[in-house]
Amino acid sequence: MSKWLLPIVCVCCIMAGCTKEQTGLAQYKKQAAIDDKIVTDYINANGLKDVAKKVADTCGVYYILLEPGQGNDLYTTSTYVTVGDTARVLGQTTPFYKTNNIHPSYQLGQVILGWRLGIPKSQVHKGGRIRLLVPSRYAYGPYPQTDYNLPKNSILDFYIRVYNITN
């Protein structure tokens, strides 16, 4: 009987691991559907339907090009963008982050996925401004950001002014 115990325990562990993966994927899809509905409802309720553009059909990130700026900039994951930005949870008026007079530079490959997708797709250039509506799966997902007092699955709303683009 003891020669069967180890294989049975291994099979049980493997099955338990598969269940967790499926549950994680199911939770991801459920939250994605919730986020996408909240974002599209917000766009419709706030008269943004004609100006908010989806980054891609399969992506829930939207951008609004407020000012295009000037230049012919090429974006890659190694591109640095110098920005001023204000970040809010979608639908809230109080920012959880604001750069004020400081203009940090970020490498696109090192920022949240919503920025990596939205900034290049919007084709904003130096001196331009965009707004990004970022579902939680393209921001911080199910992980609360205690430094910013952000709960898990926060949908983010960024106003971004691009001061410089460096490749």
Taking the domains of the chain in order of start, what are their residue ranges?
Answer: 2-166
Name the β-bridge partners of 80. Answer: 107, 166
Q: What is the pLDDT of residue 149?
A: 94
Closest CA to 107 of 85, 126, 83, 80: 80
Q: What is the pLDDT of residue 18?
A: 46
Give the tokens for residue 102: 């400081």
Residues shown for the chain = 167
86 CB burial (10 A radius; 0-12, 13-18, 19+): middle
Q: What is the pLDDT of residue 9?
A: 47
- pLDDT tens digit string along 105-140? 999 999 999 999 999 999 999 999 999 999 999 999
Which DSSP category does 94 fall into?
S
User: Average pLDDT for residues 160-167, to the nearest whole number?
Assistant: 97
pLDDT at 41 over 90: yes
- pLDDT tens digit string along 47-71? 999 999 999 988 999 999 999 999 9
CA dist 106 to 36, 54, 98, Å?
Answer: 27, 23, 15
Q: What percent of the chain has pLDDT over 70?
A: 87
- Fold of domain 2-166: Chitinase A; domain 3 (3.10.50)
Answer for the pair 136, 61: CB distance below 8 angstroms, yes or no: no
Answer for the pair 98, 86: CB distance below 8 angstroms, yes or no: yes
User: Average pLDDT for residues 77-94, to the nearest whole number?
Assistant: 97
Determine the Cα–Cα distance for residues 41 and 35; give it in Å rounded to an integer: 10
Spell out the residues 6+ positions from residue 84 whose beta carbon is closer than 8 angstroms to its own. 99, 100, 102, 103, 160, 161, 163
Average pLDDT, the chain: 90
Q: How confident is the model at residue 2 (pLDDT cuts 50, 70, 90)?
A: low
